[in-house]
């Protein structure tokens, strides 16, 4: 308490006290813990995660948005990150074990998804992408769950009286932390275990000029707060660009300085030193023709005492290599690969691309399964199920409604090599057919039904394609007659004797 009081009223005194304590500490056993010439100026306060963001969060958000607006690498990195995390949507599939009930729930979700946005601009998957982008750019996103009346639902045409609104984190009011309310931290009310139970939010965006921000307290049951919690107890999230903001800004300034240097050096070609009268030399301006210019192959005699020195541009140094180094660091800090951020494939090959994408895929899956699915997708599904059951669109059942989530497929670097690897894994029993299909971003049961439907359609039309493994072998030759007959018997029973059975 004493140290906190000193830091509050006399920060310079507190700094001297900290330096004195550091000087009295015995020789550290870790180099990074020593106070030496190499670590001079290294400030590492022992603050909590919430104390670190209390005063920096607004400026971090503002600078992140400015970079995304004006820096092409920041804008591209954000677009690519969202397109891989969400793509065209993280799609749910009901898994109750009752095929009829699952089809009913999936069809109802698909019909509702077109009306999910309270603003009427996106479907549910567009909202997912908006949430992912807002979270990455601003560090966090808010999603308001809003039940509808029967009249509102009929007017909109939604089969489930339930909609969502996406808010930027600016709506979250931090005032309670400034008045030192014990159970409020930066606009979030916590219970004794640190679980959010309420939020203070403004109905209007604080950045809209002339609009008063009415602050209301909203239960955590109706508001989703999506952010990446890097430290235990962390209540607010920071932008993904935070570790690389300074590099992006400095790279912008370096490019500007290099361009201005090139422009300034192109303005002057030669300097003339002369002891003759001004305007008398052949390299100087003539009254009738204007300024004397240099031309290729020109030979000009100088007056006695004149001397010409040509400007030799110093160049911008190893600009390209320095820029590549900075962009690699920026891509790494943002969680992407260099080629995704820059589009530069000049030094890439299949092996390097695949190795980089595998590491990126791990980070991508962590963001999908440890952040977006538990904080956004599953809570929205649960609220949607409750609204549908209350409205009678889905039957009541004990416990939660089981669901599986299918993120967008991860594109292959080389489809031929990658599918050959999948085929070998299937033959060795390392993965199942359903797992391979899910890896491609499809629902295995729906895929099997689609294959059966098209196979039947092709058989009825008398069509045989090279990709039909029932009739054509891997080498392109037809399967043997016995195997084809077995397929026909198993599929249609056409070859069974009159009144016979198939042995089942």
Q: pLDDT confidence of 321, banded at 50, 70, 90? A: confident
Tokens of 420: 């050959």
What's the confidence (pLDDT) of residue 108? 97
Q: Which region among 128-137, 369-378, 397-406 has the lowest average model confidence (pLDDT)? A: 397-406
Helix (H) or strand (E) run with residue 387 in it: helix 378-391
Task: Report whether 368 contacts 90 (CB < 8 A).
Answer: yes
What's the confidence (pLDDT) of residue 501? 45
Give the mean pLDDT of 254-266. Answer: 80
Q: Which residue has the higher pLDDT, 431 or 166?
A: 166
Share of the chain above pLDDT 90, in %: 41
Residue 379 has pLDDT above 90, yes or no: yes
Residue 57's closest CA among 140, 117, 161, 120? 140
The model carries a pTM of 0.77
What's the confidence (pLDDT) of residue 271? 65
pLDDT tens per residue, range 179-201: 556 688 888 999 988 899 999 99
Q: pLDDT confidence of 490, banded at 50, 70, 90? A: low
Residue 109: C-alpha distances to residues 77, 112, 242, 288, 292 (Å):
31, 5, 37, 83, 77
Number of neighbours of residue 167 by Cβ within 10 angstroms: 18
Q: pLDDT confidence of 6, banded at 50, 70, 90? A: confident
Residue 472 has pLDDT above 50, yes or no: yes
Q: Which residue has the higher pLDDT, 84 or 418?
A: 84
Taking the C-alpha atoms of residue 482 and residue 178, their distance in angstroms, rounded to an integer, is 81
pLDDT tens per residue, range 115-153: 999 999 999 999 999 999 999 999 999 999 999 999 999
Taking the C-alpha atoms of residue 189 and residue 122, their distance in angstroms, rounded to an integer, is 31
Share of the chain above pLDDT 70, in %: 81
What's the confidence (pLDDT) of residue 469? 78
Residue 496 has pLDDT above 60, yes or no: no
What's the confidence (pLDDT) of residue 79? 95
Helix (H) or strand (E) run with residue 440 in it: none
Pairing status of strand 140-147 against strand 223-227 = antiparallel
What's the confidence (pLDDT) of residue 500? 47
Residue 16 has pLDDT above 80, yes or no: yes
Q: Which region among 65-79, 123-137, 165-179 has the lowest average model confidence (pLDDT)? A: 165-179
What's the confidence (pLDDT) of residue 499? 47
Mean pLDDT for the chain? 83
Could you write out the DSSP letters of every residue in 182-224?
A: TTEETTEEE-TTS-EEEEEEESS-TTSTT----EEEEETTTEE
Taking the C-alpha atoms of residue 334 and residue 243, their distance in angstroms, rounded to an integer, is 8
User: What SS3 state is found at 165?
Assistant: strand
Taking the C-alpha atoms of residue 88 and residue 409, their distance in angstroms, rounded to an integer, is 10
């Amino acid at each position: 308490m004493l140290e906190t009081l000193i830091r509050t009223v006399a920060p310079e005194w507190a700094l001297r006290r900290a330096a004195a304590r550091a000087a009295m500490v015995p020789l550290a056993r870790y180099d990074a813990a020593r106070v030496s010439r190499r670590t001079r100026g290294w400030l590492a306060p022992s603050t909590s995660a919430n104390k670190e963001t209390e005063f920096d969060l607004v400026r971090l958000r503002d600078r992140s948005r400015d970079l995304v607006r004006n820096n092409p690498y920041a804008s591209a990195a954000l677009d690519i990150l969202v397109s891989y995390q969400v793509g065209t949507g993280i799609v749910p599939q009901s898994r109750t074990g009752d095929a009829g009930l699952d089809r009913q729930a999936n069809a109802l979700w698909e019909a509702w998804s077109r009306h999910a946005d309270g603003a009427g601009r996106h479907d549910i998957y567009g909202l997912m992408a908006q949430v992912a982008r807002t979270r990455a750019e601003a560090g966090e996103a808010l999603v308001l769950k809003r039940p509808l009346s029967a009249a509102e639902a009929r007017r909109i045409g939604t089969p489930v009286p339930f909609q969502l609104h996406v808010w930027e984190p600016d709506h979250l009011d931090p005032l309670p932390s400034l008045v030192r309310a014990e159970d409020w931290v930066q606009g979030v009310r916590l219970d004794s275990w640190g679980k959010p139970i309420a939020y203070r939010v403004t109905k209007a965006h604080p950045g809209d000029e002339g609009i008063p921000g009415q602050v209301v307290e909203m239960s955590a049951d109706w508001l989703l707060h999506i952010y990446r919690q890097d430290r235990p107890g962390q209540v607010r999230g920071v932008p993904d660009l935070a570790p690389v903001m300074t590099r992006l800004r400095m790279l912008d300034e370096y490019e500007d300085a290099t361009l201005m240097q090139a422009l300034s050096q192109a303005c002057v070609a030669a300097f003339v030193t002369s002891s003759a009268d001004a305007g008398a030399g052949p390299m100087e301006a003539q009254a009738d023709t204007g300024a004397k210019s240099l031309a290729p192959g020109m030979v000009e005699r100088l007056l006695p005492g004149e001397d010409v020195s040509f400007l030799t541009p110093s160049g911008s140094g190893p600009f390209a290599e320095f820029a590549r180094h900075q962009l690699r660091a920026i891509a790494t800090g943002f969680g992407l690969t260099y080629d995704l951020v820059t589009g530069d494939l000049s030094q890439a090959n299949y092996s390097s691309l695949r190795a980089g994408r595998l590491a990126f895929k791990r980070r991508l899956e962590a963001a999908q399964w440890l952040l977006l699915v538990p904080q956004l997708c599953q809570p929205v599904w649960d609220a949607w199920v409750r609204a549908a059951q209350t409205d009678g669109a889905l039957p009541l059942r004990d416990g939660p409604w089981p669901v599986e989530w299918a993120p967008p497929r991860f594109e292959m670097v080389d489809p031929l090599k990658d599918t050959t690897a999948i085929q070998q894994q299937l033959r060795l029993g390392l993965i199942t057919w359903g797992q391979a299909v899910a890896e491609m971003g499809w629902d295995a049961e729906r895929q099997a039904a689609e294959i059966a439907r098209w196979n039947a359609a092709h058989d009825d039309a008398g069509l045989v394609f090279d990709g039909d493994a029932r009739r054509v072998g891997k080498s392109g030759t037809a399967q043997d007659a016995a195997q084809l007959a077995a397929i026909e018997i198993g599929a249609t029973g056409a070859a069974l004797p009159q009144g016979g059975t198939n042995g089942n």
